[in-house]
Structure 1
Amino acid sequence: MAKVAAGARPEKIDETIVSVERAFDIIGMLADSVDGFPLAEIARRLDLNKAIVSKLLNTLESQMLVWRDERAQRYYLTYRISNLGLRHLQTSRLLDQCSAALRQLAEETGELVRLAIVEPGGQRIVWVQSFAGSKRSLRIDPNYTLEIGLHTHATGKAWLSTLPFADALKLLMHQGIEASTAYSKTSISDIREELEEVARRGFALSYEENELGVGAVAAPILASTLGGAPECVGVVSLAAPTNRMSRADLESCGSFVMATTRRLGETWPLEARARSGAFPRMVE
């Protein structure tokens, strides 16, 4: 089957407020910055007039979401945005109940272990927690980028494998299926075949498909939601440098990751299930 054009996305919903979208674009930009940005650079990246960006930054500053270094004239993200996310997670007890199992897997393997959860509504999966094994000197940076590549990350594949392919395809098309490396799959038929294989064996592999020099294995967390049947509520992944773990080595770790996800699925907080409802709830 022919490849789908990268970045193919449905049209945006009309009922949106542009200024809110732009404010969150600024938050996302600053979240990825170590040294912050001056107003002019933010305006350039957003392709907006400086006066508009200045008003947006003043609003975010008044809400204590960003702060301005008066001497350097640069803007930085505050920790308030992180605090809001942590407060939300804390009320569901997700981190408390997952930490022990994730830490154990990281220490036993010596590698980076991450937890991603499916957002209410079933439209997005996001990183929320990570643990790195203490026995290794060479480690992978557990960066929390906003978007998980659904066809390139083992985490994305593990989640999509639990969905009907029609629903998985909608999510893929919304995000786009462009290649991250020369090893990324961009053919719908190839992606479908792999997702079917992931569903059969219970875990997904990604070997230099999302980032050169990095491989990962991931398995879905299946929990009985209040809707009844087990649904995917999150994914646990284990990542390692390819000079330390071959594809076969990572595949052999699949059973350990699956054991962790079974443990988490059995103890997934009821509060989180109540908030989420049945997964996935596709919104047209």
Structure 2
Amino acid sequence: MAAGLLRRVLDLVELLAGHARGLPLQTIADSLDIPKSGAHRLLAELVSYEYVRQDPDSGRYLLTTKFATLGLKHLANSGVVDVSQSVLNRLAEQSGELVRLAVVDYPRLVWVAKAQGARSGLRYDADMGTEASLSTSSTGIVWLASLSDEEAVELVLRQGFRPPGTAGPNAPRTIPALLALVAEARARGYAWVHETHAAGTAAMAANIIHPTTGHAIGNVSIAGPSARLTEAERDRLAPDLMDAAATLSAVGPLSDYLAALSGRRARDEVRSA
């Protein structure tokens, strides 16, 4: 398959992944800036392999569960969830909040596993498999803290700052504001954000460090309503969070897999060559 055609197929899949109810053919063609006939050929090919289906009533095209199945199968075979779930469950029980595992898939940071500690009342939750916002989430900030300021800024500018109205009232809008949060995370040893990712929420995160390279290859976080996850609660939970991160860092197979996924070792070898 030609590189240009493959890129269009992947763009199409990513577009449909963001619209669970599907999209009409014309909207797909307009979004991808390709002729309607070209979009129809791509969709027909994906339909033939059962990765996409067309709703017979609305005519909309949507992804089947086949891509999700592949992703889940890959995670299962990697051992990431099996190895980490008991650690996440324990931290969720200790905190009574949502605990998530994010992995570095350079230059992205993706949530791949979670445990919910809140049994009643206010619950904060988020979809797995989504890319973390580097500038507003504790997950993103703590990873940026493991990098140089130059690389951190480069990654955030590549992803983009969250537009006004799509993040919390304390979300950083400038590079100095972003670097201030990053510096605080470096000094503290973990990230803490309050109403940056979304209004009424707070979160904290610590990096999972590869035992040999010293690179951050993922992180573990606690997130919840800001009315409950206060600074006092943050201080109480910090030792538990750091212990969970240290435990995950010490698991050899998990660390090796995440290090390979992040691509950091390969990039460093190229830079030092």
**TM-score, normalized by length of structure 2?**
0.85
Is 1:91 the counterpart of 2:95? The answer is: no
Q: 1:206 aligns with which of 187, 193, 207?
A: 193
Q: 2:117 aligns with which of 133, 137, 151?
A: 133
Encode CA deviations 1:224-268: one digit per residue, 9 max, x unaligned: 2xxx33211101111102233334433542322111111111114
Q: Which has the higher helix share?
A: 2
Residues 221 and 235 of structure 1: is their aligned pair in 2 closer, same or farther, counting only changes over 3 Å? same
Root-mean-square deviation over aligned CA pairs: 2.6
Distance 1:54 1:21 in 2: 16
- The alpha-carbon deviation at position 116 of structure 1 amounts to 0.6
TM norm structure 1: 0.82
Match of 1:61 in 2: 47
Whether 1:155 aligns to 2:139 is yes
Residue by residue over 1:133-187, the C-alpha shift from the partner in whole angstroms, topping out at 9 and shown as x without a partner, is: 2522432232246432111111000111111222222212211234534311133
Change (3 A) 1:188 1:206: same
Equivalent residue for 1:272? 257
Unaligned 5+ segments in structure 2 are none
Q: Which residue of 1 aligns with 2:22?
A: 36
Structure 1 counterpart of 2:210, which letter?
A
- The one-letter code of the counterpart of 2:28 is I
After superposition, residues 14-25 of structure 1 pair within 5 angstroms as 17-25=3-11
2: CA distance, partners of 1:47 / 1:277: 31
Summarize the Cα distance change of 1:111–1:202 in structure 2 as closer, same or farther, 3 Å threshold: same
The structure 1 segments of at least 4 consecutive aligned residues displaced by more than 4 Å after TM superposition are none
- Give the equivalent residue in structure 2 for 1:116: 102
Partners of 1:248 and 1:61 lie apart in 2 by: 53
Percent identity over the alignment is 33
Q: Secondary structure at the match of 1:253?
A: helix
Superposed CA offset, 1:102-160 (max 9, x none): 011112222111111012xx322111111112522432232246432111111000111
Say which is worse superposed, 171-180 or 158-167, in terms of deviation: 171-180
Aligned length: 264
Pick 1 or 2: higher relative contact order, CA cutoff 8 A, min separation 6.
Answer: 1
